[in-house]
Chains A and B, each alone.
Chain A
Amino acid sequence: MRVYFDNAASTRTDERVIEAMLPYFTEKYAIPTSQFSHSFGVEVSDAISLSRQTIASHVGASDAEEIIFTSSGTEANNLAIKGVAYANSNSGKHLITSQVEHLSVLESMRKLEQEGFEVTYLPVDSSGFIDIDKLKLSLRDDTILVSVQLANHETGTLQNFEEIANIVKGKGVLLHTDAAISYPYINISADRFPVDLMTISPHKFYGPKGIGILYVKKGTKITKLIDGGFNEFNIRAGSENVPGIVGAAKAVEIFDYKDVEKIHKLKGLLVRRIEQEISDVELNGSRNNALPQIANYTFSYIEGESVSLRLDFEGIAVTTGSACYSRNLQASYILIAMGKSHEQAHGSIRFSLSKYNTEEEINYTVDKLAEIVEDLRKLSPLGKE
């Protein structure tokens, strides 16, 4: 049996998405810039406009022009943070984010620090919730942007975003949220939450890779990072990834909230069985305010890479926050920021589900997992005496 529980990294593309994309490889392969020269270009230009409208209406944008296509969620985060910082630096040079953001946010912030901007990295509590009081205290007259994730990609912890948004917008500061892992699992809409910028990553919800979306509220000053032509309302140059754009719109359009219920139930089964059948386990992240598709556990006394490798031998794909797994040999900075010990971070395993997973897969995984954990604990010098 082959079981894929790494859907927080990327999901299987839905057949309907692929079907929608195919004509844009072999039949409608022009680019929209050519719309003034020939009808090939017009066809494609129309398809992009329609896709933009579909996405705009689903994310609660007031205008299709608020949807900017990029190459990835990472690029969307770069554009949101650096683009807003450069465009607004005459109003101030201070930005706020959290310690548990995706690397594309943290590294963009670090780049800005090297260029003379000042960044506050908000701490989180043991469940991964951002310190709201610290946020209030950190907002200054020269703060130009707050960038906070909607939910965490490693633990699934869902921030109290409405409260955060009200505080930030109450001060009149621009707000970006990285919703790459959360949209559309969490029903966030720009018309329900006062956000100015939002990152969306279609391959996290059965869309294609190679396409990212940045919602940019009308009137938000933003500097172009990729220079060239006048594509994407002169915010992002480069020939449009037409199949990707069409596929992204399809993925947004067909996303079914019944699948979220299904995933939620599967996660419930996984959590129940792990906690009932394996001793000395700890859930990392919030139990009640979390994404439906992510469960992160620490299995005490053993190291995560050993667990993930042994699961892989049984055909099961998961990831670990262990240093041994990462290229820089550092344990998960997210779990460390939550105050977990290095030992706890080393023993952590992330399970992330999709609509394609089944109850049978969950049961098979927990059966194998229980054996593997017991086996590795026998090998471990740590543990209960």
Chain B
Amino acid sequence: MPTPYTKLVIEHFKNPHNVGEIENPDVKVTEGSPACGDMLTLYLKVDPVTHKITDIKFKSFGCASNIATGSIITDLVAGKTVEEALKITWKDAAEALGGLPPVKIHCSVLAADALHSAVEIYMEKEGLVKEKNPTKMETVFQKLTHVIDPNTGVDIVKSKIIKGVKIENGIIFIEVDLKENDQFAANVKEEILERLGYLWDIKEVKVSFSK
């Protein structure tokens, strides 16, 4: 049957590998949001001594290429060390699938982004990052660009719902321009904590809503 997808993409889409959740993962990270069409959550378990990935699972709200890339990229990194995993790109995943239609590239980037975010978070958590720089405002904003504002479909920095950021004595204070009872408020908060909570010099992240 002629489809824009390769046989391998279809196979991985039909029977994706490594689907599910991990209980007590070392890292759990979400990229994208249903508002922009694709969303992928990645769970990682890493051996504390060898830093090899012992278990990796994902869940996806997405199209065929998103699901297939999630499946293949989790296959590619299983058993690798976190440093090795960091080197795997969406291009490697797309090649391993025998190619993806150009219009679908953004869907496959998401899986690679999730992997890199998860590994970075792990490395920072475990003190594997060689140069320990103190967290600055720009680091915070850069990390926040990975959190999507479900009301607009763009990240919370671009959608200008970050009203204020303050770093004080190892605590990051973030003021979000959403109502406390906004249907997405809890979700946005959880994702902000996911992105900032692990930074080595940060003890706590406090998110407040004001509108």
A residues near B (Cβ < 8 Å) are 301-303, 305-306, 309-310, 312-313, 322-325, 327, 329, 331, 341-343, 346, 378-382
Contacts and interface: CB of A to CB of B under 8 A. Distances in A.
Contact of B37 (A342, A378, A380, A382): A342
Contacts of A309: 3, 13, 63-64
Q: Report, as a range, how many residues of chain B touch the other chain.
A: 20 to 34
18 contacts: A302-B61, A303-B38, A303-B62, A305-B63, A306-B62, A306-B67, A309-B3, A309-B63, A310-B14, A323-B37, A324-B38, A329-B37, A329-B103, A379-B16, A380-B59, A381-B30, A381-B39, A381-B60
B22 interface: no
Nearest to B42: A381
B106 interface: yes
B34 A324 contact: no
B103 A382 contact: no
A378 B19 CA distance: 9
A342 B35 contact: yes
Contacts of B14: 310, 313
Interface string B129-166: 00000000000000000000010010000000000000
Contacts, number: 72
A305 B65 CA distance: 10
A136 B35 CA distance: 34
A342 to B, nearest CB: 4
B74 interface: no
A309 B107 CA distance: 16
Contact of B106 (A322, A329, A343, A380): A329
A380 B61 contact: yes
Contact of B67 (A329, A346, A379): A379
Contacts of A381: 30, 39-41, 59-61
Interface string B1-43: 1010000001001101001000000000010001111111100
B145 to A, nearest CB: 19
Contacts of B59: 379-381
With most chain B CB atoms within 10 A of its CB, the pick from A303, A346, A380 is: A303
Nearest to A302: B61
A378 B67 CA distance: 12
Given A309-B3, A379-B59, A381-B59, A327 B103 contact: yes
B39 A382 contact: yes
Q: Which of B1, B19, B37, B62 has the most CB of A within 10 A?
A: B37
A342 B124 CA distance: 34
A66 to B, nearest CB: 43
Nearest to B19: A379
A248 B24 CA distance: 65
Given A322-B63, A327-B103, A329-B103, A306 B16 contact: no
The 3 A-B pairs with the shortest beta carbon distances in the complex, nearest first, are A324-B63, A381-B59, A343-B34
Contacts of A303: 34, 37-38, 61-63, 66
B36 to A, nearest CB: 7
Contacts of A331: 37
A26 B60 CA distance: 55
A336 to B, nearest CB: 11
A9 B165 CA distance: 51
B40 A306 contact: no
B51 to A, nearest CB: 26
Contact of A342 (B3, B13, B19, B153): B153
Given A303-B63, A312-B1, 15 more contacts: A301-B61, A303-B34, A303-B37, A303-B38, A303-B62, A313-B10, A323-B37, A329-B103, A342-B34, A379-B59, A380-B59, A380-B60, A381-B41, A381-B60, A382-B34
A266 B60 CA distance: 33
A320 to B, nearest CB: 9
A327 to B, nearest CB: 7
Contacts of B30: 381
Contact of B60 (A305, A341, A379): A379
B63 A306 contact: yes
A382 B19 CA distance: 14
Given A306-B67, A329-B106, A379-B67, A324 B37 contact: yes
Contacts of B66: 303, 324
Contacts of B67: 306, 379
Interface string B48-66: 0000000000011111101
Contacts of A342: 34-37, 153
A303 B110 CA distance: 15
B30 to A, nearest CB: 7
Given A327-B103, A379-B16, A346 B64 contact: no
A322 B37 contact: yes
A118 B97 CA distance: 49
Interface in B87-122: 103-104, 106-107
Nearest to A326: B103
A306 to B, nearest CB: 6
Contact of B64 (A305, A323, A343): A305
Contacts of A380: 59-61
Contacts of A379: 16, 19, 59-60, 67
A304 B66 CA distance: 13
A345 B35 CA distance: 9
